[in-house]
Amino acid sequence: MTAGDNATAAYVVALDVGGTGMKAALVGADHALLHEARRPTGRDDGPNAVVDNVLAFAAELWETGVERFGARPAAVGLAVPGIVDETEGRAVYSANLGWRDVPLRESLAKRLNAPAASIAVGHDVRAGGLAEGRIGAGAGVDRFLFVALGTGIAGAIGIDGRVEPGAHGGAGEIGHVTVRPDGPACGCGRYGCLELFASAAAVGRAWAEAGGGPGATAADAAAAVEAGDPRAVTVWREAVDALAEGLVTALTLLDPRVLIIGGGLAEAGGTLFAPLREAVRDRVTFQHLPTIVPAALGDAAGCLGAGLLAWDLLSAEVSSR
């Protein structure tokens, strides 16, 4: 079987691998999520364990699809964090997961007994940005920047319905822009990176240290801000200021028409967006101020984007015939 031979099948497997959790779905051609599942990434057990967990989860979804629909999936879309070589299907590097040069397409093809040509491997945030750009908050927008504030921070540069991967698969890594040169060391090897201050994980850590207690999260910090806790307000303001610094750097380079903010921190709604819009506005000089909006697809964006990668793979093969 080749990808094209099964192009008329009703669904694809889509798997979105995050820093702490994995979200997977069986996705129809009309973008419907026909089946959804979640698993922990298991990064505390090391990079090899993460790879094993990804392969096992994909196999589970594959088997679920066959049992439920009586047909093999048309293709598989896999979205992972870090630097991704989409052409070769390799996870080149991920600071959060600790892996380097992992041949995901090859490994997944062997695990599923499926042709490598039926497997698309992409970047998790670029996949989410692809979904937001085509069917979410950026639908119909010619130029947008999607930024996900989760365990880390990364972006997707949207141009006319596609997402720019860069020459080496590293486009959009805004989380590793230095915003505080005298800041702490980052897992990427630099200092003072944006994601150390403004990711959902960073805000949770900062609030835990400031008074939220062990295990405090960004959502807890947002709730404390809304309740007027001055310690939380300070933590939140520092995160928003750092985020605005990083975003203005991106605006200067990319000049997007719309800036879409997603990820866990965006779930704070107006508690984030009101001060963020003001902080960005205060920092721009000659730059055009974009419209700043929340993502529309929530945490389904990554799965939907991985599904789009799979369907695009099939469309490309059919059109090349």
Q: Could you give the dihedral angle defined by the CA atoms of residues 188, 190, 196 and 198, in that order, rounded to the nearest 10 degrees? A: -100
Say yes or no: 202 and 121 in one domain. Answer: no
> Average pLDDT, stretch 38-46?
91
Say yes or no: 59 and 158 in one domain. Answer: no
Enclosing domain of residue 34: 4-127+300-319
Q: Which residues pair with 93 in a beta bridge?
A: 83, 100
Structure tokens at 113: 């007994």
Q: What per-residue confidence (pLDDT) applies to 4?
A: 40
Q: Rounded CA gap, 183 and 316, in Å?
A: 45
- Give the residue among 48, 246, 30 at the shortest CA–CA distance from 148: 246
> Average pLDDT, stretch 14-33?
91
**SS3 at position 214:** coil
Please, are residues 208 and 219 in contact by the beta-carbon 8 Å criterion?
no
Q: Rounded CA gap, 211 and 308, in Å?
A: 42
Say yes or no: 116 and 222 in one domain. Answer: no
Say yes or no: 231 and 312 in one domain. Answer: no
Q: Is the pLDDT of residue 317 over 90?
A: no
Say yes or no: 211 and 68 in one domain. Answer: no
Q: Considering only 21-35, 85-99, 237-251, which range has the smallest mean pLDDT?
A: 85-99
Identify whether 133 is part of a domain: no
Say yes or no: 216 and 144 in one domain. Answer: yes
Identify whether 190 is part of a domain: yes
Question: Kind and range of the H or E element at 213?
Answer: none
Say yes or no: 70 and 46 in one domain. Answer: yes
Q: What per-residue confidence (pLDDT) applies to 117?
A: 93
Band of pLDDT at residue 181, cut at 50, 70 and 90: very high
Say yes or no: 158 and 277 in one domain. Answer: yes
Here the CATH number for the domain that contains residue 152 is: 3.30.420.40
Q: Is the pLDDT of residue 284 over 50?
A: yes
Number of domains in the chain: 2
Band of pLDDT at residue 10, cut at 50, 70 and 90: confident
Structure tokens at 35: 């089946």
Say yes or no: 117 and 179 in one domain. Answer: no
